[in-house]
Structure 1
């Protein structure tokens, strides 16, 4: 596999830095306390009630992860596809429109300079569209697929609800959870809960989750790096209107002349075993070591050896990473990624040294 195929492995965990950390951070330990204000457990539990919500809104995502600056024209400026898109998401603010009609009808529109990317889900059908590439992908999901963990493609960014789902999916003693405080997000009253790691080895300082007081919908997630005050990653609504979006928004027909790829994932067992199309490498099971905020995820080599590196992709990866014992690595303010010489990829919200140790 070409070295360009490594780039999403380096970049993607950082694009969703909040979501990478989130499975380690939920701790709804306390019972509800008497009084008018909810407990942190009440606030986190209320998110489940928002799964059937209907709304339209505008999202803003910002990332300031301290990635090394790439000199103009020295690799990456003419790269196309996932790598260049992901780099853009890491280095600038972005806005997107989102339309949701319950758990199985969603539309996400990410607008970039002179281009647009769309993800449209209507039941088991998911379409993605990249106007710059004039390329569409049609995915058929397994029956009963729900939420955002269905294997469907995304537009490279995340939503507050996605991060919150991951946070609430796990309960660990490794996080201190604050009492809720009242805030306003996009004109809506919200309860904000601050999650602080008890570990001194993680790169994450705090995660602040703001949840609509009336509906339980996550409205904003803010992640700060250890020792920092300004957000390293934030995604939140800047405008939000409740009510069912127009049904036509969830219908998609690729434009005439578009390059259309079809992927049938309706056979869940076959999909998990990597038996369809190009999903084989992604089907390889990761290895997880450590716990809580110090968790390290290792992806097996899966054919990603660096024997066929080439051109601009190689130059870009070399600028993003630095040589370390046994491979190359990049450490952002929130997430580190280590690419071993034998083709494995390790990532976690920990320093690079922890990944190198875990790889041995």
Structure 2
């Protein structure tokens, strides 16, 4: 057994959704906007820290009381995809008159390349993230009920009111989540089961802070994930570094990190925002609905209740065939989602010219007992589309997908 590895007898099959308590609220809130990344770059020289077990380190993360911080960090993402070039513009680009400041569009840039960001957080109600791109700047500010986004390049502003209201802000129903750090650590280790190794692998110096390194590795063969490494602040338990490595080697799939971090409370002015003179301001859908005098007073509440009930019923009945075609194969790190569309796969030569080039650049023809199909690959997630309309997708190797297809399950 590796040093500090958690014994199998303390892990089990229980899988409870408690991960949202692992990272302090202030960090996690902004991390969600940056595809879950709140990491750091390690400096030279590993600090000499007291030994700690994986369970104790998870407890330290869960028990962290960090609510305030500010800092600068870099995010590097390498999925191994070919350059998309002018695909977006070739297929029509951004349409519908959408604002260039809309976070749902702008933050997708973090899915590739290297970016530098500034981050500030003051509890769950106030966060600010600024994406720097040369002389241009993109800022996303959450301050109470308001979310503002500003794109300096286009001088456009996106505003959404009521960020803390609505169903998304309600506490989900279901089983009670662990109340203490130790209970949470126990649940995390149980959820790992026999498929995962969780260990403490040395220390690191991150943005001037001493940190422990928590390493998570699949025990199963066939996963594309080699390891997930998280550097945790030794003093306050805040995650500082996140590195996701692929079995293919080379650059990490995700490598992001603080170059500076300060846990003092940021000044309130950091979260204040006023649209610059002459900027185009686009209101989000919720705010536009509030401004419409044609809507009844309780429209949002009643509509949401009735629509959710009726749509769920109609969707289930109308698309029941689609849902029935979905099957989950395997478990843990080698889970594969299989979808039987019931229709032959579309021919790539019938797709738009720009899309044909993209598909051909990372699609490989394969054959097996299942027949023939096309493999679409990245360093993390792979997909097999068979010619008879079946789709196999997972963070597994190409061989694992072909084997799943050959099994006929």
* TM-score, normalised by the number of residues in structure 1: 0.64
How many residue pairs match? The answer is: 301
Aligned with residue 238 of structure 1, among 259, 273, 277: 259
2:160 alignment counterpart:
138
1:119 alignment counterpart:
140
* Alpha-carbon distance between aligned partners in 2 of 1:299 and 1:252, rounded to the nearest angstrom: 46
* Alpha-carbon distance between aligned partners in 2 of 1:245 and 1:309, rounded to the nearest angstrom: 51
CA displacement at 1:314 relative to structure 2 = 6.1
* Alpha-carbon distance between aligned partners in 2 of 1:316 and 1:257, rounded to the nearest angstrom: 34
Query: CA deviation digits over 1:168-208, x for unaligned, max 9?
Result: 89533311122342211000011111111101110011111
Query: CA deviation digits over 1:18-56, x for unaligned, max 9?
Result: 89xxxxxxxxxxxxxxx9422111112222233642000
Structure index of larger Rg: 2
Aligned with residue 333 of structure 2, among 293, 313, 320: 293
Unmatched 5+ residue regions in structure 2? Answer: 1-33, 39-48, 95-103, 173-187, 290-299, 312-321
The answer to whether structure 1 residue 191 and structure 2 residue 243 are counterparts is no
The Cα RMSD (Å) is 4.7
Aligned with residue 271 of structure 2, among 226, 241, 250: 250
2:129 alignment counterpart:
108
* Alpha-carbon distance between aligned partners in 2 of 1:244 and 1:235, rounded to the nearest angstrom: 23
- The 1:290/1:131 distance shift into structure 2, 3 A limit, reads farther
Higher relative contact order (CA 8 A, sep 6+): 1
2:177 alignment counterpart:
none
* Alpha-carbon distance between aligned partners in 1 of 2:119 and 2:55, rounded to the nearest angstrom: 27
CA displacement at 1:127 relative to structure 2 = 3.4
Aligned with residue 377 of structure 2, among 323, 326, 331: 331
Alignment of 1:91-240 (within 5 A): 91-113=112-134, 115-132=136-153, 134=156, 136-138=158-160, 140-142=163-165, 170-226=191-247, 228=249, 230-240=251-261
Query: CA deviation digits over 1:204-234, x for unaligned, max 9?
Result: 1111110001111100011111152652321
* Alpha-carbon distance between aligned partners in 2 of 1:130 and 1:222, rounded to the nearest angstrom: 29
SS of 1:116's partner is: strand
Q: Is the 8 A contact 2:148 2:157 kept in 1?
A: no
- The 1:262/1:83 distance shift into structure 2, 3 A limit, reads closer
- The 1:288/1:56 distance shift into structure 2, 3 A limit, reads farther
1:7 alignment counterpart:
none
* Alpha-carbon distance between aligned partners in 2 of 1:340 and 1:185, rounded to the nearest angstrom: 46
2:82 alignment counterpart:
68
Aligned with residue 59 of structure 1, among 65, 73, 88: 73
1:262 alignment counterpart:
285
* Alpha-carbon distance between aligned partners in 2 of 1:300 and 1:105, rounded to the nearest angstrom: 44
CA displacement at 1:145 relative to structure 2 = 5.8
* TM-score, normalised by the number of residues in structure 2: 0.58
1:281 alignment counterpart:
none
Give 1 or 2: higher helix fraction: 2
Unmatched 5+ residue regions in structure 1? Answer: 1-14, 20-34, 150-166, 276-283
2:185 alignment counterpart:
none
